[in-house]
Amino acid sequence: MSTPTFPAKTTALEVVKGLHTKLDGKVVLVTGATSGIGVETARALASANAHVIITARDMNKGAQVIADIKKTTGNNKVEVMEMDLTSLRSVRKFVSQFQARGLPINILI
């Protein structure tokens, strides 16, 4: 099968559907997912039944995004973890918490 190509105006959902990749049970970590392209990427991945973990500096905003994604996709394997990519301390804390869960990262965005 050839690798699909996508024009500039392709949506995240169209890309996920066009890749023909099974995402069931895959753990996808999405940074920058509390607004814009990140939200729609997380939503598209959740609609493909991936286990989506978004990171957020503002946990209240992250919780709102997660609630909306769960509502619109019906996927309850969507969650938020706190991380500020501008803070090495925050990144290290996130890594420690994530590793303690024993989950793989199959896809990092």
> How far is the CA of 88 from the CAs of 55, 83, 84, 91, 92, in angstroms?
14, 9, 8, 5, 6
pLDDT at residue 1 tops 60: no
Q: Find the helix packing angle between 36-47 and 59-73, rounded to 10°.
A: 40
Phi, psi torsion values for 12, nearest 5 degrees: -60, -40
**Helix and strand numbers, DSSP H then E, in the chain:** 4, 4
- Domain ranges (residues) in the chain: 22-108
- CATH number, domain 22-108, options 3.40.50.170, 3.30.413.10, 3.40.50.720, 1.10.1040.10: 3.40.50.720
Its pTM stands at 0.87
Tokens found for residue 99: 């590793």
pLDDT digit string, tens, across residues 64-96: 999 999 999 999 999 999 999 999 999 999 999
